[in-house]
């Protein structure tokens, strides 16, 4: 188990030498890998998402955890900071997800959307607290995805009117902020719009089977999300 920082790719996606979690782990575990170990990353996170990533260091453990993943036995819990104050304290978002370009126009190839033609997706969300910052309303929520669709939590929360702070693709303008970021990098204009340089999503807990028992591992919010939420007054939740 490792706690991945925001901004770090999990796996290499192009031969440009950008650092990745995979490369760093292979260096860190060089001795184990040289002595018949095998590194497998069981759970993956987007580049901008921080938090827990589950690893296996033997083929046997990788097979067992891979099967547990297929059977829905690995529980995941994420914390997210969203815009606005949700009217609900708890909600279940049951809405199929598809790549937007498969069902319509999309300026961003990887952008997903809710559509009845998509694959089934379900997320349980609990309001943790509402707060204000600079006169604007935000909320901290706990999200538990019950399926594993690409960008699932981000798509579902935007779908119910609670987009993540800092989300370049689902935070508004149909992904234009993402395209602008690719073209110009981080600018004062994007900072004023998005408020954070990455989307406010953190993998806070994983629960997984080891033999006949279950193990739960948790990690707290990173400093950027703690600083954003700060000591603002809490409103309900």
Could you read off the pLDDT of 59-70 as tens digits, one per residue?
Answer: 899 999 999 998
Whether 81 maps to a domain, the answer reads: yes
- Average pLDDT per block of 10 residues along the chain, 237 residues long: 93 76 84 80 94 92 92 95 97 98 94 97 97 96 96 98 98 93 96 98 96 93 94 46
The 10s digit of each residue's pLDDT in 171-195 is 988 899 999 999 999 999 999 999 9
With respect to residue 7, please indicate whether it lies within any of the assigned structural domains. Answer: yes
Measured CA to CA in angstroms, residue 51 lies from 2, 110, 134, 136 at distances of 8, 22, 27, 26
Burial grade of 100 (CB within 10 A; 0-12, 13-18, 19 or more)? buried
* Confidence at residue 231, expressed as pLDDT on a 0 to 100 scale: 60
pLDDT for position 155: 98
Residue 236 located in a structural domain: no
Instruction: Please state the domain count of the chain.
Output: 1
**Residue 163 lies in domain:** 2-229
Looking at residue 237, its pLDDT comes to: 39
Residue at 237 is within a domain: no
Q: Is residue 235 part of a domain?
A: no
- Cα–Cα dist 149/29, whole Å: 30
141 domain residue, yes or no:
yes
CATH of the domain at 139: 3.30.2350.10
Q: Which residue, 3, 14, 82, 6, is CA-closest to 43?
A: 3
Task: Specify if 162 maps to a domain.
Answer: yes
Q: Which residues are catalytic?
A: 46
Residue 73 domain flag: yes
Element containing residue 81 per DSSP (H, E): strand 75-83
């Amino acid at each position: 188990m490792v706690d991945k920082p925001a901004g770090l790719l999990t796996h290499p996606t192009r031969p440009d030498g950008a650092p990745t979690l995979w490369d760093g782990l292979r260096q860190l575990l060089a001795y184990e890998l040289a002595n018949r170990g095998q590194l497998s990353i069981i759970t993956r996170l987007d580049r901008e998402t921080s938090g827990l990533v589950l690893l296996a260091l033997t083929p046997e453990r990788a097979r067992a955890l891979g099967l547990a993943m297929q059977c829905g036995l690995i529980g995941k819990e994420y914390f997210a900071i969203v815009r606005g104050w949700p009217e609900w304290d708890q909600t279940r978002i049951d809405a199929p997800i598809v790549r937007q370009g498969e069902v319509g126009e999309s300026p961003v190839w990887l952008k997903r959307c809710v559509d009845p033609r998509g694959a089934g997706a379900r997320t349980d969300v609990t309001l943790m607290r509402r707060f204000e910052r600079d006169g604007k309303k935000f909320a901290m929520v706990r999200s538990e995805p019950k399926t594993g669709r690409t960008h699932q939590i981000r798509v579902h929360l935007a779908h119910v009117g609670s987009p993540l702070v800092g989300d370049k693709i689902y935070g508004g303008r149909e992904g234009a902020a993402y395209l602008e970021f690719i073209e110009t990098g981080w600018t004062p204009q994007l900072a004023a719009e998005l408020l954070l340089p990455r989307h406010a999503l953190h993998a806070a807990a994983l629960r997984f089977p080891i033999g006949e028992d279950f193990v739960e591992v948790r990690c707290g919010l990173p400093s950027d999300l703690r600083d954003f939420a700060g000591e603002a007054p809490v409103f309900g939740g």
